[in-house]
Structure 1
Amino acid sequence: MASSYLCARVPPPQPRSSPSFTRPTSFSFTSLTLPHLLPPSTSLLPSPSPSPLLDGTNNGGSNRNNNNNNNNGWLWSWWNPDDWWNPEEEEEEEEEEEEEESSLFPSSATLLTFLCLLYISIIPAPALARAIWEVKGGKWTRLVPDPSGSDFLVVENDGSHSSSYLALQAWWRSCCEVVSRLLLPEGYPHSVSDDYLEYSLWRGVQGVASQVSGVLSTQALLYAVGLGKGAIPTAAAVNWVLKDGIGYLSKIMLSKFGRHFDVNPKGWRLLADLLENVAYGLEILTPAFPHLFVFIGAAAGAGRSASSLIQAATRSCFYAGFAVQRNFAEVIAKGEAQGMISKFLGIMLGIALANYIGSSVPLAMASFVAVSGIHMYCNFKSYQSIQLRTLNPYRASLVFSEYLLTGQVPLIKEVNDEEPLFPAFAAFNIKPHNGQSQILSSEAKDAASEICRRLQLGCKLSEVVNNKEDFFAMFDLFKDEGYLLAVEKGKFCVMLKESSSPLDMIKSLFHVSYLYWLERNMWFESRGIADECRPGGRLEISLDYVRREFNHIQRDGSERGWATDGLIARPLPNRIRLGHATTMKTI
């Protein structure tokens, strides 16, 4: 049997009459069937011309397409009379090969172009094969490319679920979409802040508890007024009107404290909830003292009116922080809708509980205590979730103190978690979070508390400056600022000019924070105002630092999410008006 070998074609030396090479050296390998072995004594190289054995003839039963069949090594083809080199035949064969190469070039270019176009057309196929979802509220519609055109098809059923399951799923999605449209702002969750949902959930639960208490108190008032014992309706109506009329006066008297609600909305809101529960408790006690109905009812009505005023005022502060896309009205509207749902559920539960209790005052009080505990806990958790981005004196002092100590502006959540609900009253310093902050330093927290205790914003100039030298020194130093600052009797006295803005107030608080830092670390001796306003004095050094650093901390605070455009505070109503020496006065 003939053996099959792997043959290598190597070009022989070119004849002397042809000094140039017509083509580069190349190797081609094929499966050869050799009829016999050539004598090893030959000294001639094989011809580069194709062997007759490569023309497709299959002598010996070997397959020419199997290039690795029985290859025992790389062997030269041995002597064959037809394989001797002939210059004339070589030239003819080279011309034929050049013609074949020229004829193959257009076909190769065409094939390459076709492959490129095919590759380009295949590239976007995986992306188009994936499903595309059209989102409208909570409804997701699947779209797939139409294989017969350039449009998209809506997929109704992919066969993986039954039609009843898909119908139930579609119904559930429709219900969720309706609820979200009614109760959540458009574009939720991107249209509100991150703390909106947690606050709304806790407020919903406390709203239910509040309405249960309201139903119990209303039933108690009706028993106390005598409607359950056949009393005259006219007398009952008169007592009811007197109760409400006296209670409305509390709203009028409390309205002058409106600015305080902006400064510490969380503390005031918790106080309002406490007043509301106290009012409900008084109303539930009225059946035990029916002869004091008007007095007890009036006191309870005053508490409820004051509570409703504070709740309405502070609610606006919270909603303003939630409306990150300036959708303030929509956030309020959806909040009212959520409140109506809570009231509806609370009224139903309250009616059921009231029917069970009846006219028993002890059962009513026991139920009220339990419901009030739930109410206050939910309120506390809702205020714990709120992250106020505005700067009041305490939050600003804490941010500035941390910046002066570490060079970093603290996060909004860290500052809100550390802020007490009543910063001005140390005995009631209740913090929303009991855990210790991992970022804020204890020095910064102590500094914020001390600064708030010693700060007097908007004090009178006549109470600080006692002589002409101090007066001119201070006005010369702060001539380009909207405020004046001095340390008098351990207090940081900030005097505001008539043209001062909230930005000037927050700048003055940064100045106060740096003064406190100098006081704690540089050990400046207390001198007169005139000396401290001169170069090298404490006021001059601190003001120079504030002018250089205030823009930096304002920018860093804005990047952290703080509203650094002004201070939320209630300064004393004293302002300084500048004029001629004969007309200058303090207002």
Structure 2
Amino acid sequence: MKMDNIVCRESYSSRSRPLRYLGRSDGSIEISSDRGGNRAFVSLAQMFRTVFLPQGYPESVSEDYLEYQIWDTIQAFCSSITGTLATQAMLKGVGVGDSTATAAAATITWLLKDGTGMCGRILFAWYQGSSLDCDAKRWRLFADILNDAAICIELVSPLFPKYFTAIACISGVCKSIVGVAGGATRAALTMHQARRENMADVSAKDGSQETLVNLAALLVGLVLTPMVAGNPTLTWSLFFLFTFLHLYSNYRAVTCVVMETLNQARLHIISQEYLSSVDGHIISPAAANAQEPVVWKLYRPLKVNLGAQFGQLVKSLPDMEKCLHSNRSQKFLAGLSRKTGSINVVLHRDCTADDVIKACFQAEVMQHAQKHAWTESRRSDPIGVKPVFYQEIRELLAKGSRMTPDDCWEAGQALQPDQRQPLPSIHR
């Protein structure tokens, strides 16, 4: 009897169930599935991947996707539980269960809370909107810390009935800021995770995962609510427990993300390592991300004002001549302001990504000089840049870096045409 021959094997992704096309002796083709283990379990796992994971997982997402989503799931669950505790406290504070409370007073309180929250959302988006995707990890953690603070404020609100409206408004502002910062940074992280132009799919599946987690937290909340009613000790114990888990899981989530694009913090880390090493060592994106601070802003001896106003750098015509001479014919001007302790970088309106790299690296050289206490009276050979450094930085930049906010100033007339000369020499 002639055996069936396998004419083709097919799989949807590396973790999908492969299909086999068998050539039969009668000339027909039969489709067979390679099933391993328990058939019901395999079908359930396949359904879970289809419903909750992006199409083509894991090839269609970044390598850190699974670890990040696990920690993000834990933090979402903890946040939902503490949110349930806060909701109970807010309802008590607004007058639920109090025979003297009126529906009109509760409505006014809620309207004031929502109104102040809307104002806070607008002001925060205006003040920090352009920097949220530059430092997505730090702002993501900030949003979750502020969310826990808002929940804590809501829990204490019933203890101060005379000031309940003011406390509710403060909580509303905090949660509005959380909504702006969390939503904007989530979009930046989704862009990082999507590797096949599938941002919509990654975002939609993230929403499905969060909905499932919130549903599970809702069921747990139904059990906890009768237990914590009238028991402040248990309420605060659960709050501190889940808040600790929430903050820890958020910290693990943002620190496991390996962004392959550049912002000023990661460029500073890479450049300083390159300038400090004897052999011009260039650290990997994973190493740079591991050193990137996610709680506090990166400390630098000199503040880099990338996209500065022309008037911040040049105060007189002699100053302008010095800047043009020291920067030669680049499409940017860079100078140190000793009064403000900052490096001001003016960008030409026609500057390219390469010009931004040069401007940022020149600022980092000045940072390095300040760190090692260089002075103008001591001189050495000019600092050179190896082609491999420039090439690797350009590749990272091409992936979609955000080293400068959108609202930077651009000079139009003062700078000379770019002649592709090397970086200005920095002497000591």
TM-score of the alignment, normalized to the shorter chain, above 0.5: yes
Alpha-carbon separation, structure 2, partners of 1:281 and 1:518? 45
The structure with more radius of gyration: 1
* Alignment match of 1:341 (pick from 202, 205, 212): 212
Q: Does residue 455 in structure 1 map to residue 307 in structure 2?
A: no
SS in 2 for 1:229: coil
Deviation of 1:414 after TM superposition, in Å, equals 0.6
In the superposition, the TM-score normalised over structure 2's length comes to: 0.83
Deviation of 1:492 after TM superposition, in Å, equals 3.0
Number of corresponding residues: 407
Q: Does residue 387 in structure 1 map to residue 223 in structure 2?
A: no
Deviation of 1:578 after TM superposition, in Å, equals 0.9
Deviation of 1:482 after TM superposition, in Å, equals 2.1
Deviation of 1:217 after TM superposition, in Å, equals 0.9
Query: C-alpha offsets along residues 290-338 of structure 1, whole Å, 9 cap, x if unaligned?
Result: 3322111111111111111110011111111111112112111111111
Alpha-carbon separation, structure 2, partners of 1:517 and 1:356? 58
* Alignment match of 2:116 (pick from 225, 231, 246): 246
Q: Tell me which residue corresponds to 2:25.
A: 148
Q: Is the 8 A contact 1:213 1:350 kept in 2?
A: no
Q: Is the 8 A contact 1:213 1:280 kept in 2?
A: yes
Q: Does residue 181 in structure 1 map to residue 50 in structure 2?
A: yes
Structure 1: which 5+ runs fail to align?
A: 1-124, 158-165, 427-448, 528-535, 581-587
Alignment of 1:313-324 (within 5 A): 313-324=184-195
* Alignment match of 2:125 (pick from 249, 255, 275): 255
**Against the structure 1 CA distance between its residues 521 and 251, is the aligned structure 2 distance closer, same or farther, given a 3 Å change threshold?**
closer
**Against the structure 1 CA distance between its residues 572 and 494, is the aligned structure 2 distance closer, same or farther, given a 3 Å change threshold?**
farther
Q: Tell me which residue corresponds to 1:417.
A: 290
Q: Is the 8 A contact 2:270 2:282 kept in 1?
A: yes
Q: Tell me which residue corresponds to 1:585.
A: none
Deviation of 1:287 after TM superposition, in Å, equals 2.3
Q: Tell me which residue corresponds to 2:168.
A: 297
Q: Is the 8 A contact 1:260 1:570 kept in 2?
A: yes
Deviation of 1:393 after TM superposition, in Å, equals 1.3
Alpha-carbon RMSD: 3.4
Q: Does residue 134 in structure 1 map to residue 10 in structure 2?
A: yes
In the superposition, the TM-score normalised over structure 1's length comes to: 0.62
Q: Tell me which residue corresponds to 2:411.
A: 576
Deviation of 1:381 after TM superposition, in Å, equals 0.9
**Against the structure 1 CA distance between its residues 178 and 324, is the aligned structure 2 distance closer, same or farther, given a 3 Å change threshold?**
same
**Against the structure 1 CA distance between its residues 155 and 291, is the aligned structure 2 distance closer, same or farther, given a 3 Å change threshold?**
same
**Against the structure 1 CA distance between its residues 412 and 156, is the aligned structure 2 distance closer, same or farther, given a 3 Å change threshold?**
closer
Q: Is the 8 A contact 2:94 2:106 kept in 1?
A: yes
Q: Does residue 407 in structure 1 map to residue 285 in structure 2?
A: no
Q: Is the 8 A contact 1:262 1:569 kept in 2?
A: no
Deviation of 1:577 after TM superposition, in Å, equals 2.9
Query: C-alpha offsets along residues 56-77 of structure 1, whole Å, 9 cap, x if unaligned?
Result: xxxxxxxxxxxxxxxxxxxxxx
Q: Tell me which residue corresponds to 1:483.
A: 332
Q: Is the 8 A contact 2:265 2:298 kept in 1?
A: no
Q: Tell me which residue corresponds to 2:86.
A: 217
Q: Does residue 309 in structure 1 map to residue 158 in structure 2?
A: no
Query: C-alpha offsets along residues 344-365 of structure 1, whole Å, 9 cap, x if unaligned?
Result: 1111112211111113333222
**More displaced stretch, 455-464 vs 298-307:** 455-464
Alignment of 1:154-173 (within 5 A): 154-155=31-32, 169-173=38-42
**Against the structure 1 CA distance between its residues 359 and 482, is the aligned structure 2 distance closer, same or farther, given a 3 Å change threshold?**
farther
Alpha-carbon separation, structure 1, partners of 2:297 and 2:235? 37
**Against the structure 1 CA distance between its residues 566 and 154, is the aligned structure 2 distance closer, same or farther, given a 3 Å change threshold?**
closer
Query: C-alpha offsets along residues 28-47 of structure 1, whole Å, 9 cap, x if unaligned?
Result: xxxxxxxxxxxxxxxxxxxx
Q: Is the 8 A contact 1:210 1:375 kept in 2?
A: yes
* Alignment match of 1:288 (pick from 132, 139, 159): 159
Q: Tell me which residue corresponds to 2:421.
A: none
Q: Tell me which residue corresponds to 1:556.
A: 392
Deviation of 1:457 after TM superposition, in Å, equals 2.4
Q: Is the 8 A contact 1:457 1:572 kept in 2?
A: no
**Against the structure 1 CA distance between its residues 224 and 558, is the aligned structure 2 distance closer, same or farther, given a 3 Å change threshold?**
same
Q: Tell me which residue corresponds to 1:504.
A: 355
Q: Is the 8 A contact 1:264 1:422 kept in 2?
A: no
Structure 2: which 5+ runs fail to align?
A: 416-428
**More displaced stretch, 197-206 vs 148-157:** 148-157
Alpha-carbon separation, structure 2, partners of 1:145 and 1:573? 62
Alpha-carbon separation, structure 1, partners of 2:249 and 2:44? 27
Alignment of 1:43-192 (within 5 A): 133-136=9-12, 140=17, 143=20, 145-146=22-23, 148-149=25-26, 151-155=28-32, 169-192=38-61
Q: Does residue 207 in structure 1 map to residue 56 in structure 2?
A: no
SS in 2 for 1:140: coil
